[in-house]
Amino acid sequence: MFGRKTLEKKRVPTPAIEEGPYYKPNSPERQVIAEPGVYGSKLIVEGRVLDVYGKSIAHAWMDFWQADGKGQYDNADFKLRGHQFTDKNGRYYLETVRPVGYENRAPHIHAKVRATENSPILTTQLFFAGDIKNATDLIYDELAVMYARKFKDGEKVTFDFVAPTE
Ligand code: FE
């Protein structure tokens, strides 16, 4: 019985989704990646990094990068790029702008997550529920969808990553 119950509680891992062409290693460590002057409407993304059993992972490494509100990446510098580590409760917090889709892509935020130093890196992309471009984006995945709600002068979304630990 116990074993069965444990199995039922297992979470669906966050899907791995391709890195794309715009990743840059060595991003600055910061939670606010929308520097002053970055174009776009305010967005806060927060949540936890969990293992498949739902246990919060403290000090998980996370790296985010994305396009701005015009669908443009900063490939010369590190605008809208940053890495951080989850806190002791496995929580992360990202202050950014809502990205706009470019070419045939739906709006998305790229992320890499490494649960522990010995874990593989999960590379994925997060999408926005209800966006009309999701339907025609070939790498859209409904398991990587965020639900935005109005918050102060912008929006906020909550997303828990379920990351591999080994
Ligand atoms: Fe992209």
Ligand 1 centroid to residue 26 C-alpha, Å: 18
Ligand 1 centroid to residue 164 C-alpha, Å: 22
Query: Per residue of the chain (166 residues), what is the pLDDT tens digit?
Result: 555 555 567 999 999 999 999 999 999 999 999 999 999 999 999 999 999 999 999 999 999 999 999 999 999 999 999 999 999 999 999 999 999 999 899 999 999 999 999 999 999 999 999 999 999 999 999 999 999 999 999 999 999 999 999 8
pLDDT at 72: 97
Ligand 1 centroid to residue 115 C-alpha, Å: 22
Q: Which pair of tokens denotes residue 108?
A: 């998305």
pLDDT at 6: 55
Ligand 1 centroid to residue 3 C-alpha, Å: 40
Report the CATH number that the domain containing residue 146 is assigned in CATH.
2.60.130.10
Domain count for the chain: 1
Ligand 1 centroid to residue 4 C-alpha, Å: 39
Cα maximum dimension of the chain: 56
Ligand 1 centroid to residue 21 C-alpha, Å: 7
Ligand 1 centroid to residue 68 C-alpha, Å: 10
Q: Give the span between the Cα atoms of 138 and 28, in whole angstroms.
A: 31
Ligand 1 centroid to residue 51 C-alpha, Å: 25
How many CA atoms lie within 13 Å of 111's alpha carbon, on the beta-carbon side?
32
Number of Cβ within 10 Å of residue 28's Cβ equals: 11
Residue 132, domain extent: 4-162
Ligand 1 centroid to residue 39 C-alpha, Å: 16
pLDDT at 9: 75
Ligand 1 centroid to residue 22 C-alpha, Å: 7
- The model carries a pTM of 0.94
Q: Which pair of tokens denotes residue 95?
A: 């202050």
Ligand 1 centroid to residue 97 C-alpha, Å: 14
pLDDT at 138: 96
Nearest to 119 by CA among 52, 48, 20, 27: 52
